[in-house]
Structure 1
Amino acid sequence: MFRLILEEEGYEVHLSKIAFEEVHEVEKLDPDLIILDIKIGRHNEGLLLLQQLRMYRPTMKIPVLICTAAISVIREQEEILQHKGIPVLYKPFDVDELLHIVQQNLLPSETKDC
């Protein structure tokens, strides 16, 4: 669904059904924005990936949007995420809201990868 929505808006989209094993893989893609679900893999591996992205210098400044249905998990972390400037979009979401958050988190000249 992200591919359909975002490519229609002119963004280049790379999808992954699993959390990357190494943040080096994310670095190679050089994305302008990462849309991350907390419920990746067997557990909440999305939070682990987020932590790894923030600790690894080449990926630490890439904007991340959390898009998830794991409301209870995020509610526990919401204040921390807000403090770190990481927006949260709960599923199901409104397409216009997704596009608005994506646009807010991309610099005007950076519209290649999501």
Structure 2
Amino acid sequence: MQSQPILASSRAASRCTPATKLAQQPALSLVTIDVTVPGTSSASGRRALRKALGEGSRLFAIDLDKRNECITFRVDVMARSVGDVVGALAGALRRATIGRVHAVHVTHSNAQHH
């Protein structure tokens, strides 16, 4: 007697709910970090930061120090951790200075409302 393979119904295979998908995603944090980069052009600083952190980051020039030729940005970026953000900055920017850092863990229930 030859055995036949048992096929799962399409109904059983599609039991993945939106809540299940959210639970499988990595937890994220909104990381706000102050970064000082050399130069007095906000355009070049923005390019360097976007290259390091990606296009999804929000950048705000908060201080221009012409005497020391540097500009400070406040950066908001979604990441798994502060370490991921600092690592990306350290790997891409040789002469940047990291200042104030603040992270807010984004829960799945908060993410659903936005």
**TM-score (ref. length: structure 1):** 0.24
Structure with higher strand content? 2
- The structure having more radius of gyration, on CA atoms, is 2
Q: Whose helix fraction is larger, Structure 1's or Structure 2's?
A: 1
